[in-house]
């Protein structure tokens, strides 16, 4: 920054010198030319007065020598060699009258040609400029002139001196800049070596740099060393935090394992010797609901094992009671994941509707827990759910009754789509949705089926009905159709409208990003 200021100062100084030069030259030439004109006219006026004072009325050749001596004496008197020169010559022949002692006997050809026209006027030649006046009684021309080299000698010397000083100053700056660059290159090389060894060598993360003995470089060195100290401190804190996180992770694994080992069985129906003969493995229609708490371990630093166990137990107990109340059961669970089956062990044609109602009740319980004293850990749970309906193999495994098959696997796949699209409940049971009356839904997207060979529709079921849902769903469907047809500009417009109506809609935002990416790649 300092070097830039110096450079600007030099440029400004050069501009000032040039400005002064032009103004000085122009003004000096004008004043000198005025002096030429006034002096030439004054000399001729003086000659004319001398002629009249002598009482001569006419001229002849016998008086030529007398008048030449008169003109020479007057011109010599007024000739200011340091300021300007005087040249007198015959108007017709160019014979030189004054100065009389020169080797040349006639006026220079360029001057004689320049004074050929007019009675008086300015003359500008390559080496001089001046003013000429013709005196017809004596048939002579008088020219007062100044050589340019004599007029601007001081100016030229000053300009040369200033140019030399600026050149020397520029050389000094260049030398200082190269010297600073060389020293700074050493600092950068040390920094580069330090960063190349970072995360590889043992001991300190980065190394400090010794001062270089240059104030400007030492400022950088000091800042770098301060950064090294801060980096060491931050990375030390991160190392301790990572170590703590790994330790807590191992503790949580042990806690969940102990919880699963010693907590009550998640299976609702226990099989005894009295009724085991009545239950056999069979295929039946079920509705499978998979639930996952996506953020129950967020404040990992402040978790207490007993708090986690108690809160998860409260959720499991509620889900068990709700499922048993409508003829369902917890199929299996681990940690923060549950799979609930409706329509087993007793088949139920209303299992799909009961699964939706059950998911709504579970969501209300979670929201109530988040804002009440039951939330001991301070973590506000967020649930994602996947729902599927289909044929499943239901039967006994050990002493428990469970459901297995495609329906269960599909509900887990729908759970993944719920997380991907940022909604609460996703299903692929399009046939069952056609009979749904009490809940609103919308088609989210068209995706690949489990085999990867076909395409299926996935739907979002609104457990909480937002305002203006009818208009929003229509706009969403139109935007989805435009997206599938490749009309991305129109699709973006529709999805933005939906996002505005819902005051934030994750599926719409997802499609907007897709459209913008596709538009950019076109």
CATH number of the domain encompassing residue 373: 3.30.70.1230
Phi-psi region of 340 (alpha: psi -120 to 50; beta: other; left: phi over 0): beta
pLDDT at residue 265 greater than cutoff 70? no
Structure token digits, residue 15: 């501009």
Mean pLDDT for all residues in the chain: 77
Best-predicted range by mean pLDDT (145-154, 175-184, 302-311, 476-485): 476-485
Specify the number of domains making up the chain: 4
Q: Is residue 162 part of a domain?
A: yes
Average pLDDT over residues 10-14: 72
299/313 Cα distance (integer angstroms): 19
Span of 167-181, 373-387, 443-457, 466-480 with lowest mean pLDDT:
167-181
pLDDT at residue 274 in the model: 46
193/207 Cα distance (integer angstroms): 9
Q: Is residue 81 part of a domain?
A: yes
Average pLDDT over residues 236-240: 78
62/85 Cα distance (integer angstroms): 29
Average pLDDT over residues 15-24: 69
> Strand order in 120-124's β-sheet?
96-98, 85-90, 140-147, 128-135, 120-124
pLDDT at residue 273 greater than cutoff 50? no
Within 10 angstroms of residue 296's Cβ, the number of other Cβ atoms is 20
* Reduced 3-state DSSP string for 172-198: HHHHHHHHHHHHHHHHHHHHHHHHHHC
pLDDT at residue 382 greater than cutoff 80? yes
- 435 & 485 share domain: no
Measure the CA angle with vertex 10, ends 219 and 187; round to 5°.
Answer: 25
Structure token digits, residue 269: 């129906």
pLDDT confidence band for 271 (50 / 70 / 90):
very low
pLDDT confidence band for 58 (50 / 70 / 90):
very low
Among 440, 464, 488, the domain-final residue is 464
Helix (H, G, I), strand (E, B) or coil at 258: helix
Start-to-end CA distance of the chain, whole Å, equals 45
Q: Is residue 257 part of a domain?
A: no
Q: Which residues pair with 388 in a beta bridge?
A: 288
pLDDT digits (tens, 9 = 90+) for 464-497: 888 888 999 999 999 999 999 999 999 999 999 9
* Bridge-based pairing state of the strands 400-404 and 425-427: unpaired
- 144 & 208 share domain: no
Domain of 519, in residue numbers: 466-522
- 451 & 489 share domain: no
- 359 & 390 share domain: yes
Q: Is residue 48 part of a domain?
A: yes
- 92 & 79 share domain: yes
Backbone angles phi, psi at 352, to 5 degrees: -65, -45
pLDDT digits (tens, 9 = 90+) for 248-259: 666 666 655 555
323/357 Cα distance (integer angstroms): 10
Q: Are 236 and 228 in contact (CB under 8 A)?
A: no
- 28 & 112 share domain: yes
pLDDT digits (tens, 9 = 90+) for 306-359: 677 778 888 888 998 888 888 888 888 877 888 999 987 778 888 899 999 999
Helix (H, G, I), strand (E, B) or coil at 151: helix
- 270 & 393 share domain: yes
Q: Is residue 258 part of a domain?
A: no
- 347 & 459 share domain: yes
- 348 & 477 share domain: no
- 21 & 60 share domain: yes
Of 109 and 100, the structure prediction assigns the larger pLDDT to: 109
Among 464, 481, 502, the domain-final residue is 464
Q: Is residue 120 part of a domain?
A: yes
Q: What is the pTM of this model?
A: 0.49
- 489 & 374 share domain: no
Query: Which contacts (CB < 8 Å, 24+ apart) does range 516-519 have?
Result: 516/488, 516/492, 518/488, 519/488, 519/489, 519/492
pLDDT digits (tens, 9 = 90+) for 359-372: 999 999 999 998 88
Q: Which residues pair with 501 in a beta bridge?
A: none
Average pLDDT over residues 265-278: 45
- 142 & 15 share domain: yes
pLDDT at residue 383 greater than cutoff 70? yes
Backbone angles phi, psi at 16, to 5 degrees: -65, -40
Q: Is residue 175 part of a domain?
A: yes
What CATH number is given to the structural domain containing 79?
3.40.1840.10
Of 280 and 485, the structure prediction assigns the larger pLDDT to: 485
Q: Is residue 250 part of a domain?
A: no
| Ranges assigned E (strand) in 246-380 | 282-293, 328-334, 337-342
Among 151, 183, 203, the domain-final residue is 151
Structure token digits, residue 46: 């003086």
pLDDT at residue 59 in the model: 45
Average pLDDT over residues 151-158: 65
Q: Are 341 and 328 in contact (CB under 8 A)?
A: yes
pLDDT confidence band for 375 (50 / 70 / 90):
confident
pLDDT at residue 177 in the model: 76
Of 150 and 265, the structure prediction assigns the larger pLDDT to: 150
381/43 Cα distance (integer angstroms): 112
């Amino acid at each position: 920054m300092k070097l830039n200021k110096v450079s600007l100062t030099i440029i400004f100084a050069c501009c000032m010198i040039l400005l002064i030069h032009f103004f000085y030259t122009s003004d000096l030439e004008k004043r000198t030319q005025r002096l030429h004109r006034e002096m030439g006219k004054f000399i001729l006026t003086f000659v004319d007065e001398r002629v009249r004072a002598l009482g001569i009325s006419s001229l002849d050749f016998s008086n030529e020598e007398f008048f030449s001596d008169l003109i020479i004496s007057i011109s010599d008197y007024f000739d200011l060699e340091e300021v300007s020169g005087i040249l007198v010559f015959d108007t017709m022949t160019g014979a030189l009258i004054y100065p009389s002692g020169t080797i040349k006997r006639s006026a220079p050809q360029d001057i004689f040609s320049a004074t050929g026209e007019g009675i008086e006027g300015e003359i500008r030649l390559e080496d001089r400029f001046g003013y000429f006046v013709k005196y017809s009684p004596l048939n002579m021309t008088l020219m007062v002139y100044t050589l340019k080299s004599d007029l601007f000698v001081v100016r030229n010397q000053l300009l040369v001196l200033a140019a030399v000083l600026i050149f020397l100053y520029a050389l000094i700056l260049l030398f200082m800049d190269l010297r600073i660059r060389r020293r700074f290159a050493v600092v950068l090389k040390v920094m580069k070596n330090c960063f190349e060894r970072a995360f590889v060598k043992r001991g300190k993360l980065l190394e400090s740099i010794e001062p270089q003995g240059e104030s400007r470089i030492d400022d950088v060195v000091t800042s770098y060393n301060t950064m090294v100290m801060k980096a060491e401190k931050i990375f030390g804190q991160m190392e301790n935090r990572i170590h703590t996180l790994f330790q807590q992770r191992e503790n949580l694994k042990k806690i969940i394992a102990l919880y699963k080992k010693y907590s009550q069985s998640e299976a609702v129906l226990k099989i005894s010797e009295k009724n085991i003969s009545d239950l056999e493995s069979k295929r039946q229609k079920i509705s499978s609901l998979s639930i996952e708490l996506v953020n129950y371990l967020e404040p990992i630093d402040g978790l207490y094992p007993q708090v986690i166990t108690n809160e998860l137990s409260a959720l499991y107990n509620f889900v068990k009671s709700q499922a048993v109340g409508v003829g369902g059961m917890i199929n299996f669970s681990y940690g923060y994941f549950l799979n609930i089956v409706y329509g087993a062990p007793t088949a139920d044609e209303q299992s799909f509707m009961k699964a939706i109602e059950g998911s709504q009740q579970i969501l209300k319980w979670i929201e109530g827990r988040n804002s009440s004293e039951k939330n001991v850990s301070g973590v506000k749970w967020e649930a994602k759910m996947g729902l599927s309906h289909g044929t499943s193999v239901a039967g006994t495994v050990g002493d428990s009754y469970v459901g297995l098959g495609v329906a269960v696997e599909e509900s887990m796949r729908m759970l993944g789509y719920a997380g991907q699209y940022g909604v609460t409940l996703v299903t692929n049971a399009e046939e069952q949705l056609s009979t749904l009356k009490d809940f609103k839904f919308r088609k989210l997207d068209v995706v690949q089926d489990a085999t990867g060979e076909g395409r299926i529709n996935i739907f979002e079921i609104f457990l909480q009905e937002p305002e203006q849902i009818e208009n929003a769903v229509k706009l969403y469907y139109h935007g989805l159709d435009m997206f599938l047809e490749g009309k991305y500009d129109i699709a973006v417009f529709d999805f933005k409208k939906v996002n505005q109506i819902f005051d934030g809609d994750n599926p719409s935002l997802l499609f907007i990003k897709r459209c913008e990416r596709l538009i950019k790649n076109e």
